[in-house]
Amino acid sequence: MGLLELSMIGFGLSMDAFAVAVSRGLILKKMQWKIAIIIGTYFGLFQAIMPLLGYISGIKFGELISKYSGLITFVLLLLIGMNMIKESFSNKDKKMDNNIGFIYMISLALATSIDAFAIGITFSFLKINILEAIFIIGIITFIVSIFGVKIGNEFGNKYEKSAQIIGGMILIVIGLKSLLKFIGIF
């Protein structure tokens, strides 16, 4: 598999991370490149680590995780999205733009990278150079996620409080898509 194919896989895998990064950018009051880079780093690292874990794990364990990945993604994104919506109705003046806590970001990064685990299993069958693949996937996701935060911030600054609701709804829709895939409808 060449650079073009790996890059296409990287872009495909980065789309969930992009959508979540947009939702994070929606709630930033001011564009903060440090936060965008942190978000990009979490997503890029997980998009690189998960194919490596899939590659190493092999078929037995990989089939189990792959079998339930849609359900796991749904639950994580539903919980995070509902929390964002709930906080939008809170009267507290919280600074959501600084919500890049370790557990929160790990949950988002894991939810957006479960599909990459299955790709890693596929890579083991195809005898792909896994180091090259994870580097390309990780870098692409890092860059795409940073742009997602920026795009979300541009939109969010225009629509303020409702942007947080929209961000939560985006996460829930991505989660529902994963659930529908898990059930076999989509």
What's the chain look like in SS3? CCHHHHHHHHHHHHHHHHHHHHHHHHCCCCCCHHHHHHHHHHHHHHHHHHHHHHHHHCHHHHHHHHHHHHHHHHHHHHHHHHHHHHHHCCCCCCCHHHCCCHHHHHHHHHHHHHHHHHHHHHHHHHCCCHHHHHHHHHHHHHHHHHHHHHHHHHHHHHHHHHHHHHHHHHHHHHHHHHHHHHHCCC
Residue 75, domain member (yes or no): yes
- Per the domain annotation, does 108 fall within a domain? yes
- Split into its structural domains, the chain has a count of 1
Amino acid at 30: K
Residue type, 68: Y
Per-residue pLDDT, 95: 45
When mean pLDDT is compared over 23-27, 92-96, 144-148, 172-176, the highest value belongs to 144-148
pLDDT at 29: 79
Compare 30 and 158 and report the one with higher pLDDT.
Answer: 30
For residue 177, being part of any structural domain is answered with yes
Whether residue 133 lies inside any domain: the answer is: yes
| pTM: predicted TM-score of the whole model, two decimal places | 0.74
User: Whole-number mean pLDDT of the chain?
Assistant: 81
Please give the average per-residue pLDDT across 106-126, as a whole number. 83
Q: Which residue segment(s) compose the domain that 81 sits in?
A: 3-88+98-183
- Split at pLDDT 50, 70, 90, the class of 98 is low
75-79, 110-114, 167-171: which has the highest mean pLDDT? 110-114
pLDDT band for position 120 (50/70/90)?
Answer: confident
**How far is 134 from 49, CA to CA, in rounded Å?**
7
Higher pLDDT, 92 or 103: 103
48: Cα separation from own chain's centroid: 12
Domain assignment of residue 145, yes or no: yes
Is 80 exceeded by the pLDDT of residue 160?
no
pLDDT band at 159; cut points 50, 70, 90: low
Q: What is the pLDDT of residues 30-85, one digit of tens each?
A: 888 999 999 999 999 999 999 999 888 865 665 666 677 778 778 877 877 787 67
Q: Is residue 147 domain-resident? A: yes
Task: Tell me if 22 is assigned to some domain.
Answer: yes
Domain membership of residue 110 (yes or no) is yes
